[in-house]
Each structure stands twice: as structure tokens, then as C-alpha cells.
Chains A and B, each alone.
Chain A
Amino acid sequence: MDTTTAAPTAGRLRTSVPAAAGTVPALHLAGVTKHFGAVQAVDGIDLVVQPGEVVAFLGPNGAGKTTTIDMVLGLSQPSSGELSVCGTTPRGAVANGWVSAVMQSGGLLKDLSVAETVELTASLFARTQPVDVVLQRAGIADIADRRVAKCSGGQQQRLRFAMALLPDPRLLVLDEPTTGMDVEGRRAFWAAIRDDARRGRTVLFATHYLEEADAYADRIVLVAGGRVVADGTAAEIKARSAGRTVRATLPGVRLSDLAAMPGVDELDVHGETVLVQAHDSDAVARWLLTRTSARDLEVTSRGLEDAFISLTSTPSTDEVTR
């Protein structure tokens, strides 16, 4: 085999595409793991992010998102695997101002003003954008003189964003940036990020908000249990769990009674409830209504949320997967 091997699943095409000649990936993880004692927080993540991509790192709490981001930023070391940021080590990328981050919380001095905080941070870099410019970009020029302690959560987050913009980084990493913000703050924050990303900056953001991933990312990397479980556009991920769900009530049902049912992807029985993930929901419904005494039948289509749930949840014991 001389060409690239096909990705094992449809949604993971991107990770196996080699970097175009001459471009250094903004981010490159190969088989990265991290364990804390016996706990395996990250269990072999492969990920390549090309310059200019806006990537959502989506997963439930405890999926290993923050642990991975800490390693990307050089705040901790992988237990094994390879990791490079803009073609160099995480610490090297930080020292050069090539990567910067907006962390979830903390990291601010309450008794400084907004402008002073940015000015102080700027003094730590060899070269930065002007303080006024980043305040403007982050949409906080009007509160430059306000003490950090008096800023709302959303304003503090935009301050962190302004600080992250100072070195004009190639890669901007956001760790659950809107946790705890109200709707208005969240919208203003994402508007600022989106404006910035339009200028071609590579953005990787961790989130457990599905809507955010759907609305703001070009590409979604779905993680669960410390692994990448799906990788592609929102549409591709929805397609991975395409089909519909058929639910019906069938008293006294046993799994073996349903073995002959056509059009099934996945079958669950909980008490009297039959739950079928179907690629041919019509066939399933017809079979259930004509061959069994099923009643209260419902057919629903699946969205990104179902994809998220089905891809990130671990299989339960009474589940039969065909």
C-alpha cells in the first residue's frame, strides 16, 4: 500500500491526511496519553490541527479536555506520545508567543485595572501588539480603567482574551471559555472570538456546550474517556449517527423476540420499552406494528445532541449492537 491508509471511520478523515507540503501544523498530537497515578485521564489522542482551522474540542466533563490542553500549553507533560505546537515544543511555542490561551477561571490580579493587567502581561513578552489594540479587539476598551475585581465574569473573560491576543499568537487555545457566563456575555465573547478567527488565526476551544461547537467551529473533535471518538464537521458527526430512533411499548418483550426485525442499527430494551436506532425506521415501525403487539410507537430523528450522547456514552450491558 503506497498511499495514505483510509481512515477507519468516515468522520476521522482529517486526522490521517498528511500536512500539506511546507505547512507546519498548528498542533500535532500522536498517541498522547496522560495518567495521574492509576487514573488514565488521556488515553491516546491523535490530532492534527492545520493553520486557520477553528476546532471545537467537545466532550462531557472528565473526558480529558483540560488535561490535553494543559499538555498543549506545556503546563504538564504527557505520560507518553508525541506533541508539537507550531512545529516546536509547547514551552518553545509559549516562549515565542506562538500559542496563547484563555483559561476557564483565575489567572487575574483583582487589584489591578483592566488596562494595567494587559500592560503588565505585555511587558513579559519581547514583542506584542499595542495594549489599545487588544483592548479594542476584545471589546473592553470602554472599561480599561475598571478594577478587575469589579468586572463581571464575561468582562474578565474578555480581559483574558485580550491578554491572549497580545503576542498575536498563531494558535489560540480556549479552555471552556464561557462557563458560568450569562447568555449576553457568552454572545459578546463569541462575537469577539469570531471576529478574530476571521483574520485567519487557528483556534482550538474546549467546550461541553454542544451549541457552541455547532455554531462556532469548522470542525468538531469529540472526546470521551480520554480518546477521540469522532472528528469532522458538525454535519459529518451528525451523519455518523444518522437515522432515526423508534420507541415503542411492548409488554413482556425479550431481546430474542426482536431478532428478526429489519433496518436496525442498535437495539435497547428497558422493561417494556423498546428503543431502536434505525437506518430504516419505516421498516422497523411496520415490523413492530404488524408482527408484535407494540403500541405508543414514536419515530424521532437524531441531531448533534444524540450523536454526542451516543458517541460519548459507554455501552451498557443490556445493549445489543449489530
Chain B
Amino acid sequence: MQLFIQRLVEGLSNGAMYAIVAVALVIIFKATTLVNFAQGGLAMFGAYMINVFAIEQGLPLWIGFLLGAVVMAIFASGVERVLVRPFDPEDHLPVVLITFGVAYILQAVAGWKFGTEFKSFPSLFPAKPTDYISVLGARVRYERLGVILVLAVIAVAVHLILNKTKIGLAFRAVSSNTESARLVGVKTGIVLNFGWVMASFFGAIGGGMVAHFTQLDSGFMDKILIFSFAAATLGGLDSINGSIIGGLIIGLIESPVQPMIRSYVPGFEFLTSDLALVVAFLLILGVLFVKPSGLFGTVRVERV
């Protein structure tokens, strides 16, 4: 029981990290129906920027998080304006290749500027060995609960931005029907730019949350990005709430479910955590085969 609770919390907090990055993916997808392969790179670089502000410059960590996220938001705004907007939004291939390119450039620059060795990364929340609450004898750590809290704050923030602001309304209009959005006077370029800004801002915060648990290097987001793709696919690529639930489900599969199957189901002893990525891939494939719109995504119907 103790172990189960610990793994449950671990699974939920891992899931929350996948969910944060998945939300960022979904924001870009909703705006452009484009899968942004640079999201991992943006989050990774964001974590390095937080590290620069908080550790190298000695600013308080939460200010480091904010500044790092702002820097990445400005960077993403530039990427959208200079590299993405000139291309026909209907033609996905060039833009997908560009997002790949941006991902690799960010990785190379991070390795070159910040070195290739692993760096430890602080937590926004108390993370000393004694910082936990006991639940039925299990140690539930604050740093784990903190991730879930950050996800909740981001979810509320995204919800408020999309539903209570004018730019949010324009964003929903563009993602629903781009041509009609133009016809009511929405400048779609600015709205898409805003999508990249939001995604990169929240993605950088996600990167900072992840880095504490994995340590910081130029590739630490690679694996997370796959889990986040799985989360977004499972929840529905155009559903913010779906991607959050998808993230938590993936986290739970990875942490309590998979070890339990390994321990208790005969014949599945091979299912070690090394295979978590394979499980995530199989899940992506399974969803695409069975329910391509995901659990909460919009089923696109051709209208006459």
C-alpha cells in the first residue's frame, strides 16, 4: 500500500509534467493543426534559461522561471514570424521540417553554450529529504505535489486566457475556422504568433519542472516529448482538457500500472521501465487506429 501510494503520486506528478508540455503542443495544434516537434527543444532551452537567471545570476528561482519563460516566449514569437509565417499554412511539410530544424538547432546551441555534462536543477518547492507528508505511511513529497499544483495553475491560466480575453476569443475563432476569422477582421498572423508565445511560455515552465527530476542536459526533454505526444494523442490533439487527462493517464500507466503488471502478471516480467517509451508509442498507435480524435478531441465532420 505504501509503495502503491508513493508510485501513484509519482505517476501523477510525472503525468502532470507530460501534461504541461502536452498543453503546449495542443495550443499550437489548435491554432495551426500542426504538430510542433520543436516543443521539446523550446522547453529544454527554457530550463537552461531559468538556470542562467536563477543559478548563474542568483535571482530568486521563481523569478528565474518567469524570466526564462518570457525569453522563450519572445524567441518563439520570432520563430513564428520569421520561419513559419512565410509558408502556406495549408502545406504542413515545410513547417514540420522547420520545427525539427529549430529543435536540433536549440539542442546544438545548448550543448555548445552550456556544456554537455548533466547539471542538477533546483525545485520550486521544498525538496529536502524531510520535505514530505505521510499518507498511510507513504512519503508524499512536496516537490511531487508541487508539479501537480503548477499544472493546475497553468490549466486555469490557459482556460482564462482562451475564454475571458479578446485575443483568446480570436484564438478560438481562428482554430475553429481560419477563413471566417479573417472575414470578421481577425489578423490571423498575430493570433498564431500569440499561440506560439503561449505554448513556449508554458512549455519553458514545464521544462523547468522536468529538469529538477531528470537533471539538465541538452537532451533531457527528448523522452518527455514522446510521452507528451502520447498524452496529447490520447486526450485529443485539439483538446486542452483532454491533453491534461491524457498526461495524467500516461503518468499513471508508467508508474503504478506498468510496475504492477510486471510484478503480478505472470509472463510480463520483461516489462521494465526501459520499455516505458515503447508502451507510449504503442499507445499512440493504438489511439490512432481505434479513435483518431482521442478521448476528448473534436470529431471533424465534413459539412455540406
Co-complex (A, B): no
Binding site for A on B (CB under 8 A): none
